[in-house]
Structure 1
Amino acid sequence: MSVAAIWFIVGTILLAVELASPLFVMFFFGLGAWAAGVTALFVDDIAIEVLVFGVASVAFLVSLRRLLVRTFRGRAQLSSDKASEGLPSLHAGKLAVVTRPIPQDGVGEIAVGGSFWRAVAPEPVAEGVRVRVLGHVPDDELTLEVVPCGDEVPGNPNS
């Protein structure tokens, strides 16, 4: 088996290990191993391959980690979002029901549009209260801003 193939296998294993790791670091070492594998195709010196592995891993880690973590956590504005700036949120204006209480200056949960969303409100809102969705929280497309409508959902045991 060639040295390049070994580097590619190591890179693939590191990428697979990343799936079980919450740190999001092994991904970049996998990319570094693949860079070393490409180097091994042209250079027959293990010292140079290890150097490329280390430098490429650190370069990928430093340059891409912050961007990718923000993207996967839902806090990055993608270039395709530019076209939707100024347009109302998908759920804006809809009525929802609080499924987990929304504390003052905290995050609760609402049910709207057939799914559950994190929600914030300017005042505490109890579970079972009907709320109106204002839109997404700026810089967080996964949390909705709501205001209470004042009425409880009929038949709710928490009413």
Structure 2
Amino acid sequence: MSAPLLWFLLGLVFLFVELMAPTLVLIFFSAGAWVTACAALLDIPPDWQLVLFILVSLLTLLLLRRHLRAVFGGRARRAADADADAQGGHAPDHPLTGRVGVVSKTLRPGEVGEVSIDGSFWRAVAETEIHAGRAVRVLGARPGDALLLRVDAAE
């Protein structure tokens, strides 16, 4: 089996494991393996391939992980919203505000439950108890967590 193919398959393995347990670490090793696969096509010696794999993996991990975690964790949008508020603007509502969904895990005050909106499941909180199967309307996201919806019973 050729070195480029081995590096490519190793990248696929890292990607598959990352998708199974999303830690946002192994994706960078996947990128390092794929860059090394391209370099291996140029007949770079195996020891330099290993050095390249380590360098690319660690550099992408150190340079991109924090930014990507902010983007996928909703913190990048919160920072933009805070900037808008500081300049006298109004922070935009959550994209699901006003939408109607169905409770899939009972919502109790002070606890996180779950709602389904168009087939997607979202973590949600409510000020009153709402049982599974009831319709709810999205009021917006909880301040500080764009992935946690505030909901109320729909009429």
TM-score for both structures, normalised by structure 1: 0.61
Residue identity (%): 36
**Residues 104 and 8 (structure 1), Cα distance of their counterparts in 2 relative to 1, 3 Å cut:** same
Deviation at 1:32, TM superposition (A): 1.2
Aligned length: 144
> What residue ranges of structure 1 are gaps of 5+ in the alignment?
154-159
Aligned to 1:19, what secondary structure does the other structure show?
helix
Provide the residue aligned with 2:150 in structure 1. Answer: 145
Structure 1 counterpart of 2:108, which letter? P
Matches of 1:136 and 1:116 in 2, distance apart? 14
Bigger Cα displacement from structure 2, 91-100 vs 24-33: 91-100
- Greater C-alpha Rg: 1
| Equivalence for 2:131 | 127
Of Structure 1 and Structure 2, the greater helix share is in: 2
Q: 1:101-121 CA deviation, whole Å, 9 max, x = no partner?
A: 433433123466676543223
For the aligned residue pairs, the C-alpha RMSD in angstroms reads 3.8
Q: Which amino acid is the alignment partner of residue 19 of structure 1?
A: L
Distance in 2 (CA, whole Å) between partners of 1:64 and 1:39 is: 22
Instruction: Tell whether 2:43 aligns with 1:39.
Output: no
| Per-residue CA distance 1:50-96 (angstroms, 9 max, x = gap) | 11111111122222233334444x52446xx98xx744444435666
Residue 80 of structure 2 is aligned to residue 75 of structure 1: no
Q: Give the direction of change, closer, same or farther, for the CA distance of 1:7–1:116 in structure 2 (3 Å limit).
A: closer
How far does residue 47 in structure 1 lie from its aligned partner after superposition? Answer: 1.7
